[in-house]
Structure 1
Amino acid sequence: MLHAYEKIPTKVWHEDGVTIIDYGCGQGIAEMVLSDYMVSKYVDNDYIRDFILIEPSRTNLQRCIGHVNAFFSESKISAVCKKDNQINENDINPESTTVIHLFSNVIDLDDFDGKAVLSLLNDDKSHNNIIVCVIPYYQEATRGKKIKEFGDKLQRYSLVYKLEKHTDDWDKPYSCQIYIVVSSYY
């Protein structure tokens, strides 16, 4: 996630604040890494106006809320305890014009459908959307291509960063696929 945050267009951190929407937020690891990233770039944590945390597990969602409260005490938090295919436009009401959508280790899951989320993203013409997708790099054809297929279904968006590395391809002890896709504003 840290590598992905470093590839988000830098102008995002110099505007009027952002909304973070985390699909399958788990226990809030992506948010804690985001806090570390922001500290390293001298961006105040209160720059994040609000979080919309989406997670089907109520236990994990409560842990995530606790972590976000600890790291981003000035930000508003909305919690949605639903699976991705149950999300609708009433669940997502960002306070900022710029919205960063996080898909960390979610798109590759067997039970991730994505259709409802894609519909919301494709219909949204009022926000500057940045889609950050991170999953392990899979060499097999099924789960390995899910991140690209998801990105290809986004309309009026452009791929601004792509990384596909297997453990044999670089000096890191993990594999990684990162896609960052932005709306036409960027």
Structure 2
Amino acid sequence: MRFIDGIYKPCVEKCKNIQDIPSVLSILDNGKAVLDDNRKCDRYIAFYGGHHFHKLYAAFASTNFRYTESKDIEIIDWGCGQGLATCVLIDYLIDNNINPNIVSVTLIEPSLIALNRGNNFTRQMLQSTSSSRCTIRKVNKYIDDLTANDLASEMGTIKVHLFSNIIDVEAFSLNDLHRLILASFQGSNRLICTSPDSNGKYRLDDFSDLFSQSCQLVNSASSDLPIYQEVFYFKNKQYERCRIGRCERQFTVNLT
């Protein structure tokens, strides 16, 4: 796995000898902090990157991405952090021999340091694909500060919206986000929303309900079941199979 070997494990190696784990988790605000230096970025990936990978990989399996074969797609990664969701999606497509033409990736993130790292990681992952001319757009904003002008899109493309560990964050308006998507993305839109546990379930359900009230949802999928996969366990300083909680909601809407 390119993400595991090229992004996750190098950060684990940098951080694996950390002793004061509670202090690190507090600084990272249990994964919710806006990261302001490279050390925190490395630690975020080391502590949470494996969970991100397995949770997203399981979610992507619920979307039949075969329909994107040889078609133009746009990836929009909301609250992207270091672009981990985009990187895992690219990895998933490569591993499953699915070859869309990724025409653009839009990375939206308030931390400029994390955003620049996400840009670099995305370029690193794209090197293994045929989408060499993909445009990467960096939008250095909080979600509530976005306008339609920040979100360039083409009507004829398939849009894949990634919301990884962001919809459950209560710092922004779901209603405003819903209106922004309706105003900015014509055509086919696949929205994939994941949360680390059931605590954010109501926000994912509320977000889905907003679209079901304004559009017809198709190819919906959901799961609240945990998965069991191997990640680095800092307490024991080794990779172990562990329980990864998750909440997943995804659906497609065609916007005119």
With the length of structure 1 as denominator, give the TM-score of the two structures.
0.86
Backbone CA RMSD of aligned residues: 2.3
Give the 5 Å matches for 1:102-141: 102-123=162-183, 126-138=186-198
1:57 aligns to what?
A: 111
Q: 1:3 to 1:167 in 2, by over 3 A?
A: closer
2:245 aligns to what?
A: 175
With the length of structure 2 as denominator, give the TM-score of the two structures.
0.64
The C-alpha deviation readout for 1:67-97, integer Å capped at 9, x for no partner, is 1111125211111011111111111112452
* CA–CA separation in structure 2 for the residues paired with 1:116 and 1:5: 26
Q: Secondary structure at the match of 1:173?
A: strand
* CA–CA separation in structure 1 for the residues paired with 2:246 and 2:216: 22
Structure 2 portions without partners, runs of 5+:
1-55, 229-240
Give the CA deviation at 1:177.
0.9
Amino acid at match of 1:77: I
Task: Work out whether residues 106 and 112 of structure 1, in 8 Å CA contact, stay in contact via their aligned partners in 2.
Answer: no
Task: Work out whether residues 148 and 184 of structure 2, in 8 Å CA contact, stay in contact via their aligned partners in 1.
Answer: no
Task: Work out whether residues 87 and 116 of structure 1, in 8 Å CA contact, stay in contact via their aligned partners in 2.
Answer: no
* CA–CA separation in structure 1 for the residues paired with 2:101 and 2:59: 18
* CA–CA separation in structure 2 for the residues paired with 1:144 and 1:126: 27
* CA–CA separation in structure 2 for the residues paired with 1:109 and 1:126: 26
1:151 aligns to what?
A: 208
**More relative contact order, 1 or 2 (CA 8 Å, 6+ apart):** 1
Q: 1:114 to 1:12 in 2, by over 3 A?
A: farther
Give the CA deviation at 1:124.
5.0
Task: Work out whether residues 130 and 182 of structure 1, in 8 Å CA contact, stay in contact via their aligned partners in 2.
Answer: yes
**Which one has a bigger Cα radius of gyration?**
2
* CA–CA separation in structure 2 for the residues paired with 1:127 and 1:184: 5
Instruction: Give the number of equivalent residue pairs.
Output: 179
* CA–CA separation in structure 2 for the residues paired with 1:157 and 1:134: 21
Paired residue for 2:81, among 12, 15, 26? Answer: 26
Identity among equivalent positions (%) equals 24
Task: Work out whether residues 157 and 188 of structure 2, in 8 Å CA contact, stay in contact via their aligned partners in 1.
Answer: yes
Amino acid at match of 1:180: Q
1:70 aligns to what?
A: 124
Q: Secondary structure at the match of 1:128?
A: strand
Q: Secondary structure at the match of 2:244?
A: coil
* CA–CA separation in structure 2 for the residues paired with 1:128 and 1:184: 5
